[in-house]
Amino acid sequence: DTGVSQDPRHKITKRGQNVTFRCDPISEHNRLYWYRQTLGQGPEFLTYFQNEAQLEKSRLLSDRFSAERPKGSFSTLEIQRTEQGDSAMYLCASSRDSRALNTEAFFGQGTRLTVV
């Protein structure tokens, strides 16, 4: 499978616990995005990496959220002290950069987080 891979697919956690999600992008893609999607809504941008550099962060990304992409390949998204409002589908996408001919963004299957 050469698509975007996310792990785990589902996570149930107690309020106040920390969780970490992983995303493996398509190998030749140097851009990686994190989005959050709640029921009945479209994906909302959280943050974006160009290689290992985190270039943009949404106001939605509170200080409890941190994302890394240390070697410019896989990325992790950590949520500290989870709250019930963090319950959502967390989606990762990857694309080539804007200088490439094809800059389509491809999404993973998402990680469904439930905070109880």
Partner 1 sequence: GENVEQHPSTLSVQEGDSAVIKCTYSDSASNYFPWYKQELGKGPQLIIDIRSNVGEKKDQRIAVTLNKTAKHFSLHITETQPEDSAVYFCAARTGNQFYFGTGTSLTVIP
Minimum distance, C-beta of residue 55 to partner 1, in the bound complex (Å)? 7
Please say which residue, 12 or 83, places its beta carbon nearer to partner 1. Answer: 12
- DSSP summary character for residue 76: E
Task: Select 42 or 70, whichever has its Cβ closest to partner 1.
Answer: 42
SS3 assignment, position 85:
helix
Of the ranges 13-21, 63-71, 73-81, 102-110, which one interacts with partner 1 (CB under 8 A)?
A: 102-110
- CB neighbour list of residue 100: distance below 8 Å, 6 or more residues apart: none
Q: How many whole angstroms separate alpha carbon 20 and alpha carbon 92?
A: 13
Whichever of 45 and 74 has its CB closer to partner 1, that residue is 45
Among 17, 18, 51, 103, binds partner 1 (CB under 8 A): 103
Q: In terms of DSSP bridges, do strands 10-13 and 111-115 run parallel, antiparallel, or are they unpaired?
A: parallel
Task: Round to whole Å and give the CA distance between 98 and 69.
Answer: 19
Note the Cα 42 to chain centre separation in Å.
Answer: 15
Please report, as residue ranges, which positions from 31 to 90 form the binding site for partner 1 (by CB under 8 A). 31, 33, 35, 40-45, 48, 50, 55-56
Residues forming the site for partner 1 (CB under 8 A): 4, 6, 31, 33, 35, 40-45, 48, 50, 55-56, 91, 93, 98, 103-110, 112
